[in-house]
A and B are shown apart, each in its own frame.
Chain A
Amino acid sequence: MATIARPEADRSVRGHPSTLAVVTTEFYKSGRRLRTYVAYGIVALIPIILTVVLKTNPPGPPGGRDNGPRFALAYLGTHSGLLIPAFALRATSEFLLVIVVALFGGDAIAGEASSGNLRYLLMRPIARGRLFVAKFVVAVLYGWIAVAIVVLVGAVVGGAVFGFKGLDLPFGFFGGVQSASHIVGHLAIATAYVAWFLTTIVAFSFMVGTMTDSTGGAILAGIGLWITWTILDAIDSLGQVRYFFPPHWSGAWAEMFTSNHVSDDMIRGSLLTLGYVILFGGIAAWWFRRKDILS
């Protein structure tokens, strides 16, 4: 058995940790989880599968019943591999990515609480607000990385199969003429927009995670909210009330690729997201600062 040295009070007097130090620690912890790799693996797989499907069974020009933005992007993707990520983003952003970001948001606090580790984090001289910010930032970053993976894998695989080139379709057709740099610029904006509007779900799952020790409950709450909004948004008779449901604006970015311009709906969707992030984040912060740590 080792000898015990006398406690040294003078060594223990240090300042509070910086928020960046806490963010770094939390980022490392999440990055080493198998769950993170599995989630990223699945989102990376989708663009690959879509590319294979489009290559083996290319779609015809949009028209008739198949005239939505998703079909347009699928068609355009076969003419420029740089549009495969847009198609993959469209295919994943309204469900798969919702699940993945809800996972990161819901697990951030509730995961620590359910394992009993939250109390050990808060026994340190770390202000609760600081830990809250660090956890939220890390959850958001991991959600954004998932979105980026879809786009990057789609770009690499799509480009390799259909070419890293611009679009040059007959005048008046969906997409028309777009240079490669133009498409890449639009892709960057689309990626940022999708990542941003999904932050609503991260914030909501995170908020629920501060109120419960059940990780699954927090994740399902985020997914459930999205599904509820989507169902309500489909009810036309709700009229302008639907403007308050994020799914109403979730596909606004796709117009950039089919109509070659940035839609005002993207601005509306971004502002609505900001409102929800502030609302959910504010409630979560208020709750977490007052929470009795009983787990």
Chain B
Amino acid sequence: MTEPIVRIAGLSKQYREGVLAVDDLSFEVERGQVCGLLGPNGAGKTTCLRMLLGLIKPTRGETYLFGEKVAPGAESLRRVGALIETAAFVPHLSGMKNLELWWKAGGARLADADFDEALAIADLGDAVKRKVKTYSQGMRQRLGLARVLLGRPEVLVLDEPTNGLDPGEMREVRLLLHRLAEAGATVLFSSHVLAEVEQICSHAVVMDRGHFVAAGSVATLIGDAGSVYLEVDDLVRAREILEALPTVKRVDSEPPGLAASITGGSRAELVAALVHAGIGVETVTARRRLEEAFLGLVEADR
């Protein structure tokens, strides 16, 4: 059996104020997985990732990268690219100089950094020569992603990586993570945007109030029921009709279609109602959304 790339073993963190941020958390991430760390705000996701990177000392338990126990400044961190919360830089230096200094501070050769590839992904153009203090939040986050990719790390640890990005940039990040996973990288990223996790991740770990709730492949966690995705020829009227149905809890826009969360009833009932109103239905896809699965898991745990 191969060693997991990331291993969290009995991890707990209690701050001096008495807050138990993480409570006996254990999970593993195998090579090549894109694993989402899910949880509501305050679930302990960021604290967990910071302990994984040696930034916070656990009260109990250990974290392992590539089979080696993580300590502050551990050598295994060289094989990790990380973005924790917002990307931060030295504001009075250019984006490029920030990347160079950060890379050199780790004792690595500039030739090994692959700046061109990372900068192409960040897509900052000539702005990379400007001082970071002139950047928008989105530009900083993209530069942060470029820093994550320097040296082609084997593991990416990303905490809310799409924070501060516009919808187009968020989509770019999702595609990027897909491609990184296809290229063999292992990704562990936290998010409370469940649709994002559903689209990106092969696996997910659910945590709530600091402790483990569930883990597994996203398909396993989602299960067999919950929502319907529809593509129709009149989105506005379709939404009105669906929202009027008693079995529909909520209707979300998911261009080019709509996603209807249902409780009880059947998908055929929804389609019949739309057709009866003269709306052309082009696509119907049954699915249980991760959000529902997540809420169900968390509620069952409480």
Interface residues of A (CB under 8 A from B): 1-9, 11-18, 21-22, 25, 28-29, 32-34, 115-117, 119-128, 130, 289-290, 292-294
Contact = CB atoms under 8 A, between A and B. Distances in A.
A122 B102 CA distance: 10
Question: Lowest 5 A-B CB distances belong to which pairs?
Answer: A17-B107, A116-B88, A2-B120, A124-B106, A293-B55
B6 interface: no
Interface in B80-97: 80, 82, 84-86, 88-93
B10 to A, nearest CB: 19
24 contacts: A1-B175, A4-B180, A4-B185, A5-B152, A7-B152, A7-B185, A12-B108, A14-B78, A16-B107, A17-B106, A21-B104, A21-B107, A22-B105, A34-B92, A115-B91, A117-B90, A119-B84, A119-B88, A122-B55, A123-B53, A123-B80, A124-B78, A124-B106, A126-B73
Interface of B: 15, 50, 53-57, 72-80, 82, 84-86, 88-93, 101-102, 104-109, 112, 114, 117, 120-121, 123, 147, 151-154, 172, 175-176, 179-180, 182-185
B91 to A, nearest CB: 7
Nearest to B107: A17
B100 to A, nearest CB: 9
A292 B55 contact: yes
Contacts of B106: 17, 124-126
B108 to A, nearest CB: 6
A11 B152 contact: yes
Nearest to A29: B90
Contact of B78 (A119, A125, A292): A125
A12 B105 contact: no
Given A7-B185, A123-B82, 16 more contacts: A1-B176, A4-B117, A4-B176, A7-B184, A9-B79, A21-B107, A25-B101, A117-B88, A120-B84, A122-B55, A123-B54, A123-B55, A125-B75, A126-B73, A292-B15, A293-B55
B244 to A, nearest CB: 42
A251 B114 CA distance: 54
Contact of B73 (A21, A128, A294): A128
A21 B56 contact: no
B72 A116 contact: no
Given A5-B183, A123-B80, A11 B151 contact: yes
A210 to B, nearest CB: 14
Nearest to B51: A292
| Interface core residue of B102, B107, B112 (most chain A CB under 10 Å) | B107
Contact of A292 (B57, B79, B101, B114): B57
Nearest to A11: B112
B40 to A, nearest CB: 20
B73, B79, B86 interface centre (most CB from chain A within 10 Å): B73
A21 B110 CA distance: 13
Contacts of B117: 2, 4-5
Contacts of A121: 102, 105
A248 to B, nearest CB: 37
A28 B104 CA distance: 12
Given A9-B79, A18-B107, A126-B106, A32 B56 contact: no
